[in-house]
Structure 1
Amino acid sequence: MTRPGALRRILIGTLIGCVIAGLLALGIWQLQRRTWKLDLIQRTETMLRSPPVPAPPPSAWRAITTNDAYRPVTVIGRYRPDADSYTQAATALGGGFWVLTPLDTGRFTVLVNRGFVPSEQRGKVWAPTGTVTVTGLLRLSEPGGGFLRSNDPTEDRWYSRDVSAIAARRGLSDVAPYFIDAAATPGKAWPRGGLTVVSFRNNHLVYALTWFGLAALLAGMTWFVARPNKRA
Structure 2
Amino acid sequence: MPRPKLLLPALLTIVGVAVLCTLGTWQWLRMSEKRFFIERLEAQAKAAPVQLSANGGWPKLDLTRAQAKGSYLDGMASVRTTIAAGPPGSRQLSGFGRWIFQGFRLDDGMTILVNRGFVPESRFAAIAPATGAATVTGYLRAAETRNSFTPADLPQQREFYTRDPEAIAAALGIGAVAPLYLEAERQGDGLTPPAGVDVNELIARIPDNHLQYALTWWGLALTLIGVFAAYALQARRRPDPEG
Structure 2 distance, partners of 1:190, 1:18, is: 55
Aligned 8 A contact 1:114 1:193 in 2: yes
CA shift in 2, pair 1:145/1:98, >3 Å: farther
Aligned 8 A contact 1:58 1:176 in 2: no
CA shift in 2, pair 1:223/1:57, >3 Å: farther
- What is the deviation of 1:20? 0.9
Aligned 8 A contact 1:20 1:219 in 2: yes
Mean CA deviation greater in 153-162 or 38-47:
153-162
TM-score by length of 1: 0.80
Q: 2:70 aligns with which of 56, 66, 77?
A: 77
SS at match of 1:102: strand
Structure 1 distance, partners of 2:22, 2:184, is: 43
1:138-217 alignment to 2 at 5 Å? 138-144=140-146, 149-154=150-155, 156-186=158-188, 189-195=192-198, 197-198=202-203, 199-217=205-223
1:27-106 alignment to 2 at 5 Å? 27-55=24-52, 57=54, 60=57, 64-66=60-62, 69=63, 71-82=64-75, 84-91=76-83, 92-95=92-95, 96-105=97-106, 106=108
SS at match of 1:117: strand
- Look up the match of 1:226: 232
- Look up the match of 1:17: 14
CA shift in 2, pair 1:114/1:192, >3 Å: same
| CA RMSD in angstroms, aligned pairs only | 3.0
Q: 1:107 aligns with which of 106, 109, 115?
A: 109
Structure 1 distance, partners of 2:180, 2:40, is: 20
SS at match of 1:44: helix
One-letter amino acid of the structure 1 residue matched with residue 81 of structure 2 = A
Identity of aligned residues (%): 32
Structure 1 distance, partners of 2:49, 2:161, is: 28
The superposition leaves residues 28-85 of structure 1 with CA deviations (integer Å, 9 ceiling, x where unpaired) of 2211211221121112111111111113647645x6134xx1x221112221112x11
CA shift in 2, pair 1:44/1:195, >3 Å: closer
Mean CA deviation greater in 40-49 or 118-127:
118-127
Structure 2 distance, partners of 1:10, 1:164, is: 59
Structure 2 distance, partners of 1:200, 1:122, is: 27
- Return 5+ residue gaps in structure 2 as ranges: 84-91
Aligned 8 A contact 1:149 1:159 in 2: yes
One-letter amino acid of the structure 2 residue matched with residue 166 of structure 1 = I
Structure 2 distance, partners of 1:185, 1:225, is: 64
- Return 5+ residue gaps in structure 1 as ranges: none
SS at match of 1:143: coil
SS at match of 2:195: coil
SS at match of 2:139: strand
SS at match of 1:176: coil
Structure 1 distance, partners of 2:55, 2:126, is: 32
